[in-house]
């Protein structure tokens, strides 16, 4: 969809620069004149929202790093000092901690958008895979960031997660010691997590650059899942990115920022855990160790495997299932056999998708609960069983439902073009 460049340098300086470093042309072609399908709905605004949150996290994070002390004896107090004594430190710290949560809310909505509208299908497989890479990097960054305040949940969460690698046969223990930089989670672990937590966001920014590059080759998908036509018809299907989508994205970003600010200023700790206001104590294990909410579905999948499978013991099985739940996203473009992108025209699969969303939220619920507690007080029906059932559905959605549905489902009639879809004529 990205056609020939329409940029024309007006002044002597821009002509001079354009023949040497056409950076203004790049910006013009990518964010001003870029032809964008005219039928994008608000689910397409989360890309812009995510870009804003990456910037918020990096800016607030750099300021926090000026005051934070990565030392096991001082880390907790240094965060408290930021909240108490640094000018507006309470605000910057709250923005950073809640910003992580809102980053994940946006990325999950962005991913569900992609799953519903088939954004991962040809020719956008690389775009999708780069997105999954960003998501993995985000998870690593968020996990290491949560360790830095060195509260009880930070510390014990770090122990639980780093112990997962010990499940790897033969070399697991060695890898774990290498990660720790010692024989337990301690000073070396905290110091290296701080270093990596500072590094990874810039790698994320780099992969985001690739993600946008890969987006701008085929152009945006859209709710009807049809490509914008080439040539003269292109204008009928698309609008220039600016001003149409700059203003629409700006509106969505502002609405999202308002919800964000309600949390930053009025509910700063509601998404955190009370135990993280207790300094890390290796001699006292919290009653329940729970990760941050955005990891809860994967925590439930990890705990769902309670049985040995042949030579694979339950622990390794859980770890494999948890990483498999993300790894499967890399091959999703080849698992979905349907040529129809948008679920709007897939009458059966959209129901399975709906239940997939319910399953993902349900796994989050299971992850927050003790696996031996009963669901809604129903005696005998443990959260463990619910988690196992939903884990099964999670994998079945990708491995059975999508491959089979592409073959057996009869899609609904699709409009001839984006223009036809917008005008309501078939």
Partner 1 sequence: MKMFRFIAAGLAAALSLTAIGSTAYAAGGGTKPPSHEWHHAGPFGTYDRHAIQRGFQVYQEICASCHALGQMSFRNLGQRGGPFEDGNFPNPNDNPIVMQIAASYQIMDGPNDDGDMFERAGIPADTYPSPFENEQQARASNGGAYPPDLSLIVRARGYGEDYIYGLLTGYHDAPEGYDLAPGQYYNDYFPGNAIAMAPPIMDDMITYADGTEATMEQMAEDVTVFLTWVGDPHMEARKQTGWMVLIYLFIFTIIVYLAYRQIWANVKH
Query: In the bound complex, what is the minimum distance in angstroms from residue 275's beta carbon to partner 1?
Result: 7
Cβ-based nearer residue to partner 1, 336 or 419? 419
Query: In the bound complex, what is the minimum distance in angstroms from residue 249's beta carbon to partner 1?
Result: 10
Query: In the bound complex, what is the minimum distance in angstroms from residue 404's beta carbon to partner 1?
Result: 30
Query: In the bound complex, what is the minimum distance in angstroms from residue 330's beta carbon to partner 1?
Result: 26
Cβ-based nearer residue to partner 1, 36 or 338? 36
Query: In the bound complex, what is the minimum distance in angstroms from residue 195's beta carbon to partner 1?
Result: 27
Cβ-based nearer residue to partner 1, 165 or 421? 421
Cβ-based nearer residue to partner 1, 290 or 332? 290
Compute the half-sphere exposure of residue 162: CA atoms within 13 Å on the CB side of its CA. Answer: 25
Cβ-based nearer residue to partner 1, 25 or 248? 248
Q: List residues near partner 1 by CB under 8 A.
A: 38-42, 77, 80, 83-84, 90-91, 94, 101, 105, 109, 239, 243-244, 247-248, 250-252, 254-259, 261-275, 277-278, 287-288, 290, 293, 296, 361, 364-365, 368-370, 422-423
Query: In the bound complex, what is the minimum distance in angstroms from residue 269's beta carbon to partner 1?
Result: 6
Cβ-based nearer residue to partner 1, 270 or 407? 270
């Amino acid at each position: 969809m990205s056609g020939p460049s329409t940029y024309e340098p007006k002044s002597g300086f821009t002509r001079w620069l354009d023949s040497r470093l056409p950076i203004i042309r790049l910006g013009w072609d990518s964010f001003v004149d870029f032809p964008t399908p005219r039928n994008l709905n608000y689910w397409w605004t989360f890309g812009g929202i995510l870009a804003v949150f990456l910037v918020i996290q990096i800016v607030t994070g750099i300021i926090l790093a000026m005051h934070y002390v990565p030392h096991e004896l001082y880390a907790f107090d240094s965060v408290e000092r930021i909240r108490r004594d640094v000018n507006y430190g309470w605000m910057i710290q709250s923005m950073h901690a809640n910003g992580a949560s809102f980053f994940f809310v946006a990325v999950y909505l962005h991913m569900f958008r992609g799953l519903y509208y088939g954004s991962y299908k040809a020719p956008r497989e690389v775009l999708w895979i780069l997105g999954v890479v960003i998501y993995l990097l985000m998870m690593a960054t968020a996990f290491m960031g949560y360790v830095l305040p060195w509260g009880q949940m930070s510390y014990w969460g770090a122990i639980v997660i780093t112990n997962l690698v010990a499940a790897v046969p033969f070399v697991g223990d060695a890898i774990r010691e290498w990660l720790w930089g010692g024989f337990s989670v301690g000073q070396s672990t905290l110091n290296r997590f701080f270093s990596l937590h500072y590094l990874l966001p810039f790698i994320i920014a780099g992969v985001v650059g690739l993600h946008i590059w890969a987006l701008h080759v085929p152009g945006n998908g859209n709710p009807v899942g049809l490509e914008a036509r080439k040539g003269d018809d292109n204008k009928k299907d698309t609008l220039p990115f600016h001003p149409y989508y700059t203003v629409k994205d700006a509106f969505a970003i502002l609405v999202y920022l308002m919800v964000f600010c309600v949390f930053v200023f009025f509910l700063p700790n509601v998404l955190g855990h009370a135990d993280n206001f207790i300094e890390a104590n290796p001699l006292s294990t919290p009653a329940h160790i729970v990760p941050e909410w955005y990891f809860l579905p994967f925590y439930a999948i990890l705990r769902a495997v309670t049985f040995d499978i042949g030579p694979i013991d339950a622990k390794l099985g859980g770890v494999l299932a948890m990483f498999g739940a993300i790894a499967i996203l890399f091959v999703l473009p080849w698992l979905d056999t349907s040529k129809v992108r948008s679920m709007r025209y897939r009458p059966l699969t959209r129901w399975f998708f709906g239940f997939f969303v319910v399953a993902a939220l349900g796994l989050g619920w299971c992850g927050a609960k003790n696996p031996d507690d009963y669901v809604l007080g129903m005696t005998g029906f443990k959260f463990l069983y619910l988690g196992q059932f939903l884990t099964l559905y999670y994998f079945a959605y990708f491995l059975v439902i999508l491959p089979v549905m592409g073959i057996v489902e009869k899609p609904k009639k699709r409009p001839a073009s984006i223009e036809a879809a917008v005008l309501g004529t078939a």
